[in-house]
Amino acid sequence: MKTIIIGAGAIGMMQARELAQAGVEVTLIDKGLCGQEASWAGGGIVSPLYPWRYSRPVTALATWSQGYYSNLAESLEAESGIDPELTRHGLMMLSIEDQTEALEWASAHNNWAELIDKSEIYKLEPNLREGVSDALWMPQVGSIRNPRLVQALYKSIEREPLVNIIEQASVSGLVIESDVVVGVKIKGASIRADKVLVTAGAWSGNLLQSANVCMPVEPVRGQMILFNAKPGVVNRVVLCDGKYVIPRRDGRVLAGSTLEYVGFDKQTTEQAKQQLADTAIDLFPALAGAQVEHHWAGLRPGSPNGVPFIGAVPGVENLYVNTGHFRNGLVLAPAAVRVMTSLLLGLESPVDPEPYGFNSRALQTEIT
């Protein structure tokens, strides 16, 4: 079977790797260079933020992926020589208003969260601002250094004989004959395949529009900054009022992120930079002594309730999507890719694929 995958973010590259490992021939096409959009720009927390606030379909994918991530990171390092730095340092959440719901969720999910008091908090994070008396602590949560993850994925598929990578080639449309997709158009030519899979992140909705299919996946900008801090200033992912800091192994600290509905505009703003820096320094005053060495923005593929679209596109035979992972594409990727692989190859899916299908969802427009 010959497959074209449109979009080489974490989802597209992971999908190409998995299909090729199953013996499928893949042409992977990106409008730019592989892994340079949201999958590079994200924070890499391997958990939804405030996981109890998500619906079951998101939790099901996240839970499967979290169990699989170590295996993936080790395999990728072996294949590519690049360590994606999966680090299980835990997630500490401050100022939780819906603590009761959080603890109820935790007791139904292997006690994935517990309340901790002042003494434990400062043992875990000695440099946290003074006066924090309680926190919700998820010790199993980790983060992945996503720019390394995408590099590792690239190296892994680059050496795979069944994967043909085409970069700097924007897919301008789908080739559809009698309601069957038979290929894609790039650079004024068409390439044919048995199946076409759209993994084009925030741009996926536009591609489906060219096939007259309405899928509510829209760009949601997120800005992030990076402090050039020394190791030990921040040791865990710490989340407070929707903003977070993430330590990398070399001491650098990411602070994010904004949630902005501004279309396909990837520009950064001084105001966001200042706000992100102020929030991070308020949490960890020692960050005031570190330089902000980088500031960037990425476009998340926003979808209604953050539930991705994974499966066949109605009305166009052999056309599939795996997109709309919104704020959680890095944590959801392994499970989402496995669900898609199962659907394409007729294998058993790791989770029930039904909630990710189109049904009536394609007609909804609200992105939350």
Ligand X SMILES: Cc1cc2nc3c(=O)[nH]c(=O)nc-3n(C[C@H](O)[C@H](O)[C@H](O)COP(=O)(O)OP(=O)(O)OC[C@H]3O[C@@H](n4cnc5c(N)ncnc54)[C@H](O)[C@@H]3O)c2cc1C
- Of the residues 121, 171, 197, 367, which one makes contact with ligand X according to CB under 6 A: 171
Task: Report 14-33 residues binding ligand X (CB under 6 A).
Answer: 29-32
Query: Residues 229 to 258: which contact ligand X by CB under 6 A?
Result: 256-257
Judged by CB under 6 A, does residue 7 bind ligand X?
Answer: yes
Asked if 222 touches ligand X (CB under 6 A), the answer is yes
Which stretch, 20-28, 79-87, 197-205, 265-273, contacts ligand X (CB under 6 A)?
197-205
d(CA 284, CA 86): 23
Comparing CB distances to ligand X, the nearer of 118 and 192 is: 192
Least CB distance from residue 100 to ligand X, whole Å?
25
Among 183, 301, 304, 311, binds ligand X (CB under 6 A): 301
Interface segment toward ligand X; rule CB under 6 A; list 5-13, 79-87, 117-125, 126-134: 5-13
Query: Is 176 an interacting residue with respect to ligand X (CB under 6 A)?
Result: no
**What residues does 313 pair with on adjacent strands?**
none
User: Which H or E element spans position 178?
Assistant: none
Which residues are CB-contacts of 156 (< 8 A; sequence separation ≥ 6)?
17, 76, 79, 80
223 phi and psi angles, rounded to 5 deg: -105, 150
Residue 328 is a binding residue for ligand X (CB under 6 A): yes
Complex with ligand X: residue 115 or 236, whichever CB lies closer: 236
Contact 20, 165 (CB under 8 A): no
Is 80 near ligand X (CB under 6 A)?
no
Contact between 12 and ligand X by CB under 6 A: the answer reads yes
| Coil vs helix vs strand at 4 | strand
From candidates 4, 5, 11, 286, binder to ligand X by CB under 6 A = 11
Rule CB under 6 A: say whether 327 interacts with ligand X.
yes
The smaller minimum CB distance to ligand X, of residues 28 and 287, is found at 28
Q: How many other C-beta atoms are found inside a 10 Å radius of the C-beta of residue 62?
A: 20
Can you point out the beta strands (E) in 206-361?
Answer: 218-227, 237-240, 243-247, 253-256, 292-302, 309-312, 319-323
Q: How many CA atoms lie within 13 A of 91 on its CB side?
A: 22
Q: How far is the CB of 105 from ligand X (least distance, A)?
A: 18
Does residue 10 bind ligand X (CB under 6 A)?
yes
Q: Does 303 bind ligand X (CB under 6 A)?
A: no
* Shortest reach from residue 130's CB to ligand X, in Å: 27
User: In the structure, how many helices (H) and strands (E) does the chain have?
Assistant: 9, 17
Q: Residue 307, interface with ligand X (CB under 6 A)?
A: no
Taking the complex as a whole, how short is the minimal distance between the CB of residue 133 and ligand X, in angstroms? 27
The one-letter amino acid code at 259 reads L
Q: How far is CA 239 from CA 213, 244, 300, in A?
A: 38, 4, 19
Quick check: 330 binds ligand X (CB under 6 A)? yes
Indicate whether 323 belongs to the interface with ligand X (CB under 6 A). yes
Strand partners of residue 180:
177, 317
Interatomic CA distance for residues 29 and 320, integer angstroms? 15
Q: Which of residues 35-64 bind ligand X (CB under 6 A)?
A: 36-39, 41-45
For residues 151-187, one letter each, b for 16 or more C-beta atoms within 10 angstroms of the residue's C-beta and e for the rest, the string is bbbbebbeebebbbbbeeeebeebbbeeeebbbbebe
> Where along the sequence are the contacts to ligand X (CB under 6 A)?
6-12, 29-32, 36-39, 41-45, 170-171, 199-203, 207, 222, 224, 256-257, 298, 300-301, 323, 325-331
